[in-house]
Each structure stands twice: as structure tokens, then as C-alpha cells.
Structure 1
Amino acid sequence: MKSSKSRLGRNVHRLFFAALTISLSISALYAQPASTATQSPEDHVSLYQALLDLQNPWTVMCVAAHPDDEDGTSLIVMRRKYGAHTVSLFSTFGEGGQNAIGPELYEELGAIRARETMAAAEIQGSEPHFLGLKDFGYSKTRDEAFKFWGHEEGLRRMVLEIRRLRPDVIITNHSVTNNDHGQHQATALMVVEAFDAAADPNKFPEQLKDGVTTWQVQRLFVRVRGNQAASDSTSIVTIDPNEKDPVRGVGYAEEALCALQQHATQGPWPKTFAEYANRFRAFSGQPGGATGQLPMIRYALVREAKGSAPLSAKESHSFLDGLRLPDAEAALVVAPQIGGKPLTDYVDKPATVLAELSVSSVETSRQHGTAIANQPRALAMRNRMFRAMGAASGIIVSISPKGVLVPGTVTDITITVSNNGTLTTQVGRLDLEGKPIAAETGFQSLSAGEKRTFIAHYNTPVNAQLSVPHAEHLYDGGEFGSRLKAVAVFSIVHDSHQFVVPSETNVDIARPIELASVSTSPIVTTPANDGKCGFHPVDFKLRVSNNQNDAISGALRLFLTTGPIMGRGSSTRKVELRAREKTDELFTLDGCQLSKSQGGVTFILENQTKTWPALLVPIVVTNAKVAPDLRVAYIRGFDFSLPNALNALGVESKEVSVDEIRTSDLSKFTSVIVDNRVYESKPELIAANQKLLDYAQAGGNLIVFYHKSDEWNPDPRRNRPQLAPYKLLLSNERVTDENAPITFIEPDHPLLNVPNKMGQDDFKDWIQERGLYYPREWDPQFHALVQSNDPGEAPLKGGLLVADYGRGHYIYTSMVWYRELRGGVPGAYRMLANMISYGRK
């Protein structure tokens, strides 16, 4: 995410000096009677943080490969305890991971995770930024990561963000000595290289323009993991996660857990801090303190800039200990005080604080105005001063657009000014994107508890970067939309004591008319015995959104091709939409026509004067046959790839709940499928698992898709027994190469031959990986049917296991069928057809 805060800072700075009356009657504000109203707890915390931020001019950056890899606890401690400016920098959006709450994957998942990261950062008090490198899934080496990213390109992006954000200290969880995720390894190496490269004018000199300069980070810290010992000569910073935030009344690690829980697609996360502490100790191998507490967080100092001040102690508790600014720069960022005491001591006296901030702001501007405008650190501290003034006054400025913005279109933007403080203020100039919307024709009074609304008619630039759909703009700089900025000038008592309150919000930019798929894409059809041309029809839902301020009408046409459009199309319907309205249109697509389509279907909306951008949806025709008279029950996981695939196969299927598993007669189903990670997402199924095993033993076909080792293997601490009918233990091993060779260990086994004979072609064009969390140990009753391996590694044989159990069957598979089914890989449909047909005649 490219930051626009520096531009906002310059605009605020200019507006402040344009509006500021230098000769202020300071005594009037001190003399104004204070209201008897008391601060709300939220306002108290907000003001305290704003005042604490004025005491620390340093910036700490945490670099991580993916969202949730950041050290949220240390970021929180540095901001909430010490007042440092904190930022996080992520190599990727995490789009290659698994989704624990929904069907979105790849770019759609990345767009969700970007917003989850923003929500987590809000709790951490940090700013998130992204390099936008592609998360292509789990990798085992940094060389594989650089094959996708480009080593030089990844370094270029990281250097640019360091130069823009200007961190004094960088911390990272990733180490060049660790043999973990390849993207972690690559990120760790880039951090070390960028430490020097960002300060070298010969590295990426094309970046050195538009205010971007070289930048020398002072210190680089790498986290010391587990019980790893640092050398005697290494300086260590120790962060106590169990320390209590005295203002918010909770532990810093408890705040970090709240932030971690925002990463919902990567859950499920512990619900309580005690559970979090126990799980962390088990995962890290570090002994904690008292029960329910986390072990210390330790960082080793691995790089220092030449001439940088040393840490003040070998065992320190702040990454910033000992850092000093040059005298000339330090003079520009002196924190205001009252009687030699920090303003945080007066947090319960906001009127007194506001008076001192006003005095300090004027005096600093008189003495150093030009220098501040040209010094990024001083300008950043000036903006913190403005935020502190807003917090002390209780003034809040909020921006609310009327829907998404459309390039070249005027949209009403509501700006609300609320006085939540105790003093009567006066609203002066109000700007949106540098243009006045409320002129300074005499200040308008705003009493305590009052709010006032202004409407700006904002004309979105014709060349504005689109952000909708979010997934389509993940890598082009439009992932968060446009940043709208408002700046308001206020005064208290007879046009004196003017101060500035800025506000920002992200808004989406969309096309005037948007066609989007609601149903799964690609469309998949399979053979059917319907007496016609032999392929199943498919229901497809399309959403038409009118983002304009005017109504539209047109013809929505369907063409069974993704090539050149000719004729009127195979289906046409009229669409009429009011301003800012959307509708869903359902098409039933004939299976015969689908099987003959030229690669997909094209939807076009047009009228007599205009044709809007088309939506192209690919079609996959797969020769996947199923046994007759199947009836499949499934306990759905996080997404809909399984039910969508069963529908595409034309199979009668039913989603069942855990309660239905407990109480229903399962014998009416020919197969029951436990979808990905259901024993984790629906832990109550563990207690009902015996009912599933009884179903298989009595003649049913029980199929279980992949689970993680720590949510499957027997664990008495979590009351989890053996879940399979025979011994079956999972590892953390993966086959990450989606093109890894497949060997049939038992090529004649019925599961590989009926009703579809599986071959090498069925494993072509796979997506991202072969499988994950492969079994490491299983009972001889299981037949291992296939094996695969990444280059240079031993084969993993547990990807598809099948066993007879009583009169029925049990199948466990750790291969990533859900990715392949969602992507329309024909072989995945053929294998699913075999699994649900297993044992049927």
C-alpha cells in the first residue's frame, strides 16, 4: 500500500499557516471555564496516546512475509508504551494460503487478508504497507520464492518502502538461518540486503525523486526463536508480553491476541488469553512464566549503521534505547511540557492540554516553521501535534461518501464535524482534497456535544485508479481504493487558538456498470444420462451493479464463446436499474450448448448508445462419470468447492450438520464426506465421530479430506482420540510443486479405475500444490494408492489412503482437491467421482 500521509502532512501544514493568526490571546483559553462534563474512557485513551506520541520521534518497522507473520505484541509495546511510530511491511497479501472462513482463494483471499491486516493494525496502533509480491503458496526454499518474485525486483520494492517510510529500526520474525517457509527465508534475506541498499545512492537511483531520498536504518533486530541461545557478544532486546497496559487496563499480549483474531481467514484463533498462552508455549517450545502467561519475546541486534549509537544496555527492553538525534533535528521535535512534566500527566485536563499545545505549536512555528516544512521527521511530529489538538478538543471529523466513486462522476461526500469535548469551538475553513467546501466567512459556533454536517460535491478524476472488484486490483496499486482527505480549521474564543484536525478514509473506485459472477467460476459441466446431448445443465448467477447517479436500462446478452462476438447471442433479457441499484440475474445454461461452447461464455450489457465492459466466464467440460443412484451427505468445511463439485457431477447431495450426524439415520447415504479441516472448524464433531465410524462399519463409504496434524492427531489435552478407524498419524510434510510426478502404487485398485480410469493426464494442470499434511504413519489395513514428491525429496505415499472397515470403506486424502475442484481441473472431478462411487456397482 503506497502511503499518502506525507502529502497529507504537507497540505495540513500549508493550511495551518494559511489559517493561523499569529497574535493569539493565549490567556483567554486558560481562563475559559471548564465544563463539568467528564471524559469518556475512549476519549481518555485516545488523548493519552496522542500525547504519548509527541514524546517519541522514532519509527519502528516490522517486516513480515505474510499477514499474521508480524510481531503484533512488540508493535503494540513500542506504540502503546513508548509512543513510537510503528509500521508493518508485508512482502505479500497472503493470497496463497488457505481460507478458514469462506470460499475465496488467491486474489480474492488476498483482498480479504489485506483488509484483515488493516483491522489488526488498527488495534496494534501501526500502519500496514505491502510490497505486492505474489504469494504462490507454500515453498521450501528462498530460491523458489525468488523464482516467482525476482530477487532484484523484491529488493527494489523493499528498498523503496524503506526510503518512503524512513524507519529508524527494523524488526523481523524471519531469519536467514531458519529453514522454514521459503517466502520467509527470502524476506529475511531481502531485509538484510535492504538495510544497506536503502542508504546507497547507487542502488535503484531512479527512486530518488518526488521527495524520496536515501535512508539509513540505524538498527536491524531478528527474533530469537524458542530456546535458541544468542552469542555472548550479541545485544538482546527483551519484550515482556505479559506486561499490563496501564491506560487500557489489559496486557499487551491480550491486545495482540485481539489483533490476531482479526486475521479470521487464518483461524480459528484461541478465544481466551489462557488458551493462547498454552498454545503458544506448545508451538514454540519455550517455557513460559506462570500458568496462562507467555514467554519473553527476545530479539538479537544483527546489524547497526556506522556511527549509530549503541544500545544503552546489553539486555535492553526497547529497540530504541540509546538512539539520539542530531541537535539541529532534535530542536524541531521537542515534546511540549507543563512545568517540566510531560503532557500525559495532564490527560485528565484536556482544556489545559489544548492551551499548551496551541502555545507550543505557535512558538515552534515562529522559530522553526521553514525548517519543519522541509524536514520529514519534524513534519510527521507536527501532524501528531495536530492529532493531539483534535484529541484534546474532542473534535472528530469524519468522511462518508455516498457509495463507491466513479471516474468522471460527481458524488456527494458527507463530512461530519462532531464536538465531543467540553469547550465551545468554532468551525472555520473545511477542505476536501485541498479544495474548500466551507469558506472562512466567519467561524460557526459548535457547542459541546453538537455536530454539524457538510456536503461536498466531489468530482472523481477521470483517470482515477479503479479498485473494484478488489481481487482484480490487488497488484496494480488500487487494492485499497482512493484515499480521501479532509482538513478542518477550528478556533476557541474569538477566532483565536486555531488548530487543525485532519481526517482520512479509503473509498472504492468502480466502473459505472459492473458485471460480476456470483456463482462459481469456471463453469463446470459433466456427462449426464438425460436422453439429450449428455451433459448436465448449470445454473449461473450474475450480478449487475449500477454505480451511477442515474438510472439505466439495457439488454443483457449471453454469448457461448469468449472469442469474437457476433449476432444477438443465445439469451437476452432486459435490465432496468435505478441509480446506485444492483440486481442478480439467474441463467440456466443448457448442458448441450455448454459442451459445444468455445472456451466459455460472455455476458454483455448494452443499449442503443453504449456497450459496457463484458464479463468472460470460462467453461470446463470434463468426462467425469459417477455410479448410478448416489446420495451423498457432506459436512462442509470453509468453502463451497465440494457442494459445487457434487452439483456439477449431477449427484444428489445434502449438507448435514453435526446435530444431524448425531441424530439422523446415515444409512440412507451412499457416501458421507468430512470436508477440509471440519474436525477443527466444528470440534463438536469429534464427540460424534463414532457415529461416522459406525456408519462405515455398517456398509457406508466415509471420505475424509485433509486436516492439519495439530487438529487431527490424538491429543488428550484437547480431548481428541484417534479419529480414523485404524491408526493414522499426520505430519507437516507437503508436496508444494503442483507439477510433481505422480506414481500409482496400486494402479489396478478399484478406486483408481471405477467408474473412471485415472491416468497421468488427470494430474496435469494442477494448481499451486499436490497436497499437504501428509500422513507419516498408518495401519497396514490402509492401501496407499499414489505417491509424489518435491524435487530432491523422498516420495510421500499417504496422499490417498483407503481401507475396508467392516462392511464399508474409509478413505483419507491429503491432496488439495478443493483447489483443483474450484479451479476446474478435470482430473479432480474424475477422482471425486471415483471416491463417491467407491464400493457401488
Structure 2
Amino acid sequence: MKLLRYLALAVMGVTAPHVQAQTPAASSSEILLQLKKLNVTGSVLYIAAHPDDENTRLLAYLASERKLRTGYLSLTRGDGGQNLIGKEQGEMLGLIRTQELLAARRTDGAEQFFSRAFDFGFSKNPQETFTFWNKGLVLSDVVWVIRNFKPDVIICRFPTTGEGGHGHHTASAILAEEAFKIAGDPRWFPEQLQYTQVWQPKRIFWNTFNFGGLNTTSESQMKIDVGGYNQLLGKSYGEIAAASRSNHKSQGFGSASTRGESFEYFKQLAGSSAKKDLFDGINTSWSRIPGGTAIQAAISKIIAQYNIQAPERSIPQLVAVYRQLQSLSEKNPETHYWKTQKEKELKAIILDCAGIWMEAAATDYKVMPGASIPVNTQIILRKKAAVELEQLVYAASDTAMQLQLKPNQLYAFKHADAVPVSQAYSTPYWLQQPHNTGAFIVDDQLMIGKAENGPALSEQVHLKIDGVRIDYEIPVVYKYTDPVKGEVYRPLEVLPPLTINLPEAVNVFRNGKGRVLSLTVKANKPDVNGRLSVTASGGWYADVEQPEIHLKSAGDEAIIQVYVEPVAGVPSSELKASVRIDGNSYEKSIRRIDYEHIPAQFTLSSATTRLVSIDMYKSGNNIGYIAGAGDEIPSCLQQVGYKVTMLNDDMIEQGDLSAYDAIVTGVRAYNTNPKMQQHYKALMNYVKKGGNLIVQYNTNNRISSVPVDIGPYPFTITRDRVTDEHAAVTFLRPDHAVFHFPNEITQADFDGWIQERGIYFATDSLNKYTKVLSMADPKENAQDGSLLIKAYGRGNFVYAGLAFFRELPAGVPGAYRLFANLLGLPVHEKR
């Protein structure tokens, strides 16, 4: 046999690793549940706007009690929200929340889908939402998902009438209702029909709710008890829901389990009438498919005879059902759909019944196009069953084997997987091109709706099980053993030979002065030798003193100094970097995300940085910073010349705070640091003695409250905000020092702000604080809680709901100047 020269046959005992934590082996009771699901042909699609909008208890109930194919379509990836666990914002936050949603779906048993809509931040109404989202484009995505998922029933989380609060919420319901009406009409989005077929769901509901002080439920509505207990899983649906929702860690949505009856309410919006149940009159048995009645009877017999202590005894009958599925005619699109879906389910059940475990593990987590990487493919049959390894196909090479697998023996095949020269670099498909304000750009129709990319490399395993060939695909992954975490898996990455990382996405230069930027060039393979070049647009000066790159080993890095200087009259520029190797130019930058609760994530993009020249003066230099949930303000302040010291709890309690001209608390510091109450006295004494304390926004809601004192006098943090970044700003106290020292602040300083003016404004019922700004979203009353200032002792206390955490990293000049004025508020005479 051709593979013998590559074959290393190992026979040993083995314990199941954490493998592919995304698809762990099923227990015998879980196999029985999957068999029961195999006998149901109904489907339901839940639609809302964001990660966390979904009703996880209802999803768990539909997936495991009703045994329906269940999906959640989140229109966005949550890119515009806040981050409780780190500094990531925008697209990087969307990456985190995508993985958190996938973890939630692995918990509750549903599937995950997305549209191309970009979460641009909080929106107060659907009209504003659709000024950013291309409504027709997002509608086409919803129709596309419906036509492919083919739900019998659609459920909206929110209504079209606005009770959901967020404009995205209302927009999601509007789009769901419109898509319900047109998904079955071939005149709508006909370009999709070369890949799929039209589909008309039977009915659509609104899942009414009672939370946030608003009760939209009614006893006149359809209601269903979803609080049951699933003996096969050993959990109630309330317990499953809590575990699912607790995956949303970047939002701080850890949830407590619920047990006992729990009703969900539904208002029907359109479709055939239903009185008692979501699926009234809808056939969810195999009889809906021509030739399906015999399959129903065969699966029912397998369930009746299933031996929970010996699942492998069901394999012959399961293989017989597989052959029945293969013989179904696909002339009917619905038959093709259910045949494809049930084959996928059945193949997984057969693997679990046989106790078959398969893995393809590479020796490194990265590989270059055109290169090859050693891979160890392992297979073990852990139950007594007739299984033959017929073929192993990797990197377009197929190898005949005809190897009869012996129970509980681990077979290992060492070989090299080649990566095609044409292989694209790994990066999330929706981030391969720069997105616009409201949507990601995805040119491949077949990728739209998918939660994430497929594996960079995969291998085909052809098994003959009980005499019938069944084909499987396994991803090539990388694994290693961590001394604390144990066995750790990560996806295989296809990368360029090197990456070039610039220090920040935006680099700020103060008062026309040049400075040195440090670029990091990292080798992804041995012996990288090249030359770095940089260019700056708009006439800005950029020079590399030592451009030659010599990196001996994969993983080696070189720090290259680039001197950059603004040019008068050109407020911004773009710096591009590239390295030329053997006539080829490489210009990719990499950004990585590493959290324990999700797989390693990264993006590749052009090695560019925006350069911004700001005319700004500062008073004081030494800034103390108390970290919160995570933001980029410290590095932003360092860019414009401040010395920033990160203050830990001991430094606050025992250190000399008078050394700092100002102290700033990071976003949500009072939500995330339980010792802030303990620090209250020290911080107030600091202010009394002449210091400036600037407190950035905190939240005060059911998820993240503020149980501590913040300022010298009480004030209340609200959910008020101004989401229009262009909203007019009124100076309530134009004579206040905050507008004059050390920078003169004018209306022009509020130009160019991004996403919003501010969030979580404050109210001051005792009128102890000075309110210096007023602003309003369109057609709303003016709000004056974005910036509260109080002279206290010789110093000043500030509560800032203004979105500095977004504006400074974006290089907004006016935000820098105003923040500098807050840091430099004048010391008062001793009172």
C-alpha cells in the first residue's frame, strides 16, 4: 500500500482528550436523545439583533425537548458594544462575541447564523438604524438564511413597535417580518436561486417578554411551559439556559440556573393560524418527505431496541437507515434538504455508537501557502464494531488502506499535508475587506450567514462501517500540553512568511513634533531576510534608519525604529509598511485575541496606521490610572507626552497620591473593582488636597450596578446617552475653566467624533455638581449629564459620560484637547 512508507502504527491505551472541545463525544444517554431528534423533521429559526438577545431557555427547549432543528440568526456580531473583560472594541469585540455565541449554541443545542450587518453602536429607533444599515442588503441576508435553513416557524425576540428599546432590536423584527413574506417569492433576490431554493415558512411569532420593567406578555397569548427537565441530559432547560447565557462573558452575563415551570408567551404575527402550539398542524415527521415513512419506522425501531449500555449494537440498523437515506430521490427540494441534514446527524450518531475518535494534529499552529506541515492523524475504535479504514485523503492525495480496525487500538499515520500556493491567508471571512459604516463586505454568497470560516486544512476519512462506505471530514488542528491547562487545541493558521505590527491603529503627534514609532517584524518561518520600507501620505516625513531584516528562526522578532514627522497644514496621514523578500512584498499586520473561554482568534490586515497631528497643550504631566474593564486611554495619553502610572490597590491605599497631577479611573472601574469602595476615602483626600479625579463612565443596571460611593456628593448614573455622534453640543457654562485651560475649546472640537457622544450620563438631584454641556439626539429633550464637575477642597472631581474611550483611540483632536483640560483643571485656593 502506498501509505506504508508514511505509516507508523501505534497500539496503546488512550484516554479521550478535550478534543475539539467544540464536538465532544456523546454519552449513551445523549446518543439516545440524538436518535430521537433524528426522527423529527421540523425546524425553527429565532431572529434578533445581537449576541445575548436570544432566549437561551426557549432555544434549549426547542432543540432538546421538541427535538427540532433550531437556529439563532443574530443580525450583528455585537461589534458596537462595551467590553467587560478587555480592551477590544469594534471588529475585535465582534470576534470575541462571535465565539461566545458559538459556545452558547454548543451548550443549548441550537445553531448560529449572522447577517453582514455591522453593529455601529446604540441606536434609539429603526429609522436611525436603517440610515447606517443598507436595509435591502441585510434583508437579503435574512432571506438567504431562511431559504437555506428552511424553518417551518420563525420567532422574533422583539416587536416592530419599539418595545425592544434599541433601534437594532426593532429593525430586526421589521426585517424578519418582511423576510417571512418574501422568502418564498422567486422575484426577490433571484441571484440567490443559483445556490438555493425559495422557502415559505408556515408562520411567524413574537416571543413576548417581561423584563427591564416592561411586561408585554398576556394570558390571551399562546403560552408554553419551557421549564421542564431532560432526564437524558440530566438538566432542566433553565439550567441549560443559564450555562448557555453565561458564555457571554464580555458582557458580564453570568446567569443563575432556574428550575421548575417557566412559561414563554407568543403573539402570532403572520402565517397559518395557531392556537395552542407553535407547530399546530405542521407535520414534523418523516412522512412529510416522499419515501420517509419507512425511515420513520426504522428509526422508531432502533429507539425502541436501543441498549444504553451497548450503543454499538444499533450500528447495523443505523447503517441500514443511512442506505435508505442514500436512496431517497432529491427531485423535491425539501427532500434534498432533510436528506442532507439527517445524513449529517446520522453519521455523527454512528461515530458515537462505535466510539470512534479521529484527529489530525499538526506539529505547529502555523503554515505558509505552498509549504507542507507534518501531521499526525489518529483513529481509534473504542467499541466492538465492523469498521474498516478504507481511505485517508489529505492534501489532494488519496491512499487506499483497507485496514480493519481492532477495538481500543490507536492507529497513528504520520505524513505531511501540503498547502496549495493559492491558499488564502487565514482571517475571518467578514474581515477580509475593510467594512463600511453599516455592513461587512462579503463577495462570496456561500459564506454569507456562516458564523465563522471553515478549517484551513482538513482531511477526508473514508470508513466502511458494517459494509457500507461512510465519508467523514476532520479539521487539521494544532495541540500542545500546557502544564496548568493540560491538553490545549487551537485552529491551524495559514500565514504569510512574516507580519509587521505597528504600535497603534492611530498614532497621535502633538504640536507638529516628530517622534519615533517602533514597528515589530515577526518571522513565521525560519531564515527570513528582507528589507523594510515605509511610506507616509500627504507629505509627512517617514524614515527607517536600519531597514534590513534578518530573522533566523520562526517566532523571532525585530524591533524597527521609524522616525515620523508631521507636515504643516496636513492634519492626518497614513503610514504603510512592507517587507520585500526575494522579489515579493509582504504587508500584513496581525492582531490576536487570547482568552481562556474562547479559541485563539486573530485577524490579518494591511500593515498601516493612521497618523494624526493635534495642536494641544497640557498642564501637568504625571497621571495615575486605575484600570477598569479595559480601555486604551493610558497609551493614548502616553502618545501625547503624559507619564502614566497604572495604580494597583496597594499604591492607592499606601502610596503618595499627591505625586500625580490627575488620577483617571478606567471605564467601568467601579463595576469591576470590588475595592473601589475601600479606596473612596483615599481618593477623596487626594481631591481635597488639590488633585483632579476623572471618573469615566460606569453602568448602573440589573447586570452591572454601582454599589459604591464615587464622588464627594451623591449622584445617580442613568442609562441616558446621546448616540448621534454629530449631535449639537451647547456649552452651559462657557466661562468654566474646562473650556479655556490649557486649550481653548470650541464647537469645532466636537467635530469628527465616532459612534456616539456619550453613554451612561449622570443626574444630580442635590445640584451639587456643575453641568457644563448639553446635547440631544434628534427629536429628544436635551441632556446635561454627560460631564459633571465639582470643585472639592483644593481639587476637582469629574464624572465623564462622554465617550473618551472611543474618541481618543480614534485620534479625535477635540476629544484629546478636552481631556487634557480635565486633567489640567486648576487647583483652588485653600479654603
Alignment identity in percent?
Answer: 23
Pick the aligned partner of 1:480 from 452, 462, 465: 452
- Find the counterpart in structure 2 of residue 763 from structure 1: 750
Q: 1:418 aligns with which of 342, 357, 380?
A: 380
**Structure 2 partner of 1:453:** 413
Q: CA deviation at 1:110?
A: 1.9
**Cα distance in 1 between the residues matched to 2:410 and 2:229:** 35
Distance apart, 1:564 and its partner CA: 9.2
Equivalent residue number for residue 85 of structure 1: 69
1:591-614, Cα deviation, whole Å (9 max, x unpaired): 678998971333221145222237
| TM-score, structure 1 normalization | 0.82
Taking a change above 3 Å as real, the CA distance of residues 834 and 759 of structure 1, as seen in their structure-2 partners, is same
| Change over 3 Å in CA distance of 1:515–1:200 after alignment to 2 | same
| Structure 2: distance between partners of 1:65 and 1:368 | 38
The answer to whether structure 1 residue 519 and structure 2 residue 503 are counterparts is: yes
Contact 1:54/1:335 (8 A) holds in 2: no
Quote the Cα distance in structure 2 between the aligned partners of 1:251 and 1:798. 44
Question: Residue deviations 1:277-306, cap 9 Å, x none?
Answer: 6xxxxxxxxxxxxxx87953323332224x
1:606 maps to: 580
Summarize the alignment of residues 717-796 of structure 1 with structure 2, pairs less than 5 Å apart.
720-796=707-783
Q: For residues 22-75 of structure 1, what are the alpha-carbon distances to aligned partners after superposition, in whole Å with 9 as ceiling and x for unaligned?
A: xxxxxxxxxxxxx9x999995335523432331222222111211121222222
- Equivalence for 2:89: 105
Counterpart amino acid of 1:624?
A: M
Name 2:694's counterpart in structure 1. Answer: 703
SS in 2 for 1:102: coil
Aligned to 2:649: 658
Deviation readout 1:250-280 (Å, 9 max, x if unpaired): 33233223222322222x233x626xx6xxx
- What aligned pairs does 1:456-535 form with structure 2 within 5 A after superposition? 457-460=417-420, 462=422, 464=424, 467=427, 471-473=431-433, 475-476=441-442, 480-483=452-455, 484-491=457-464, 496=467, 498-504=469-475, 510=494, 512-517=496-501, 519-527=503-511, 535=513
8 Å CA contact retained: 1:358, 1:498: no
Which residue number in structure 2 is paired with residue 123 of structure 1? 107
Is this contact kept in 1: 2:32–2:303, CA < 8 A? Answer: no
Look up the match of 1:623: 615
- Give yes or no for contact 1:425–1:447 (8 Å, CA) kept in 2: no
Deviations 1:468-515 (CA, angstroms, capped at 9, x unpaired): 6984456436783444554433346xx735544444579676552453
**Which residue does the alignment assign to 1:438?**
399
Q: Is the 8 A contact 2:369 2:420 kept in 1?
A: yes
Query: Aligned ranges for residues 671-710 of structure 1 at < 5 Å?
Result: 671-710=662-701
Amino acid at match of 1:386: K
Counterpart of 1:403 in structure 2 is 365
- Structure 2 counterparts to residues 377-396 of structure 1, below 5 A: 377-396=338-357
Question: Helix, strand or coil for the counterpart of 1:811?
Answer: strand
Aligned-pair CA distance for 1:672? 1.5
Alignment of 1:835 with 2:818, yes or no, is no
Task: Return the offset for 1:627.
Answer: 1.3
Query: CA contact under 8 A between 1:405 and 1:510: conserved in structure 2?
Result: yes
- Distance, in Å, in 2 between the alignment partners of 1:72 and 1:174 is 15
Tell me the CA shift for residue 223 of structure 1. Answer: 1.1
1:199-348 equivalences in 2 (<5 Å): 199-210=184-195, 212-226=196-210, 228=215, 234-240=221-227, 243-266=228-251, 268-270=252-254, 273=256, 296-305=263-272, 311=274, 314-316=275-277, 322-324=282-284, 327=287, 329=289, 331-332=291-292, 334-335=295-296, 340=301, 342=303, 345-348=306-309
**TM-aligned CA distance change 1:111 to 1:324, over 3 Å:** closer
Distance 1:332 1:137 in 2: 47
Classify the secondary structure of the residue corresponding to 2:586: coil
How does 1:117-156 map onto structure 2 within 5 Å?
A: 117-156=101-140
Equivalent residue, structure 2, for 1:816: 803
State whether residues 328 and 339 of structure 2, in contact with CA within 8 Å, keep that contact through their aligned partners in structure 1: no
Q: What SS is found at the alignment partner of 1:572? A: coil
- Residues 778/405 of structure 1: CA separation in 2 closer, same or farther (3 Å cut): farther
For 1:746-804, what per-residue CA distance to the aligned partner results, in whole angstroms no more than 9, with x for missing partners? Answer: 11101111111111111110001001111233432211111111111111111111011
After superposition, where does 1:633-652 map in structure 2 within 5 Å?
633-652=624-643
1:255 and 1:344 map into 2 onto residues whose CA distance is 28
Alignment of 1:356 onto 2:317:
yes
CA distance in 1 between counterparts of 2:688 and 2:711 reads: 12
Alpha-carbon distance between aligned partners in 2 of 1:157 and 1:469, rounded to the nearest angstrom: 15
Unaligned runs of 5+ in 2: 1-12, 18-23, 434-439, 478-490, 588-605
Q: CA deviation at 1:518?
A: 5.1
Query: Residues 606 and 502 (structure 1 numbering): CA distance in 2 closer, same or farther, change over 3 Å?
Result: closer
Aligned mates of 1:565, 1:747 — CA distance in 2: 36
Aligned residue among 569, 572, 589 for 2:546? 572
Q: What's the CA shift for 1:342?
A: 2.0
Query: How many Å apart are 1:198 and its aligned residue?
Result: 0.5
Q: 1:47 to 1:405 in 2, by over 3 A?
A: farther
1:6 is matched with which residue? Answer: none
Mapping of 1:581-592 within 5 angstroms?
A: 581=555, 583=557, 585-587=559-561, 589=563
Q: Is the 8 A contact 2:370 2:418 kept in 1?
A: no
**Mapped partners of 1:756, 1:711: distance in 2:** 39
State the shift of 1:739 in Å: 0.6
Code of the residue aligned with 2:180 in structure 1: it is: F
| Contact 2:57-2:238 within 8 A present in 1 as well | yes
Distance 1:293 1:456 in 2: 54
AA of the residue aligned to 1:488? V
Q: Secondary structure at the match of 1:780?
A: coil
CA contact (8 A) 2:522 2:557 kept: yes
Query: Is the 8 Å Cα contact of residues 632 and 669 (structure 1) preserved in structure 2?
Result: yes
Q: 1:640 offset after TM fit, Å?
A: 3.9
Q: Secondary structure at the match of 2:229?
A: coil
* Equivalent residues of 1:465, 1:482 under 8 A apart: no
Instruction: Look up the equivalent residue of 1:512 and give its one-letter code.
Output: P
Counterparts in 2 of 1:38 and 1:693: CA distance versus 1, 3 Å: closer
RMSD between aligned residues:
3.6
CA distance in 1, matches of 2:607, 2:302: 63
Contact 2:625–2:645 at 8 Å: present in 1 too?
Answer: yes
- CA gap of 1:778–1:835, structure 2 versus 1, over 3 A, is farther
Aligned to 2:389, what secondary structure does the other structure show? strand
Change over 3 Å in CA distance of 1:219–1:400 after alignment to 2: farther
Contact 1:332 1:378 in 2 (8 A): no
Distance in 2 (CA, whole Å) between partners of 1:406 and 1:422 is 41
Q: Distance in 2 between matches of 1:428 and 1:734?
A: 63
Q: Does 1:537 pair with 2:515? A: yes
Q: Answer yes or no: is 1:60 the counterpart of 2:44.
A: yes
Distance in 1 separating the partners of 2:425 and 2:332: 34
Deviation at 1:464, TM superposition (A): 4.0
- What TM-score comes out, normalization by structure 2 length? 0.83
Tell whether 2:133 aligns with 1:157: no
Worse-superposed segment, 374-383 or 745-754 = 374-383
Cα separation, 1, equivalents of 2:780 and 2:732: 17
- How many residues are paired up? 759
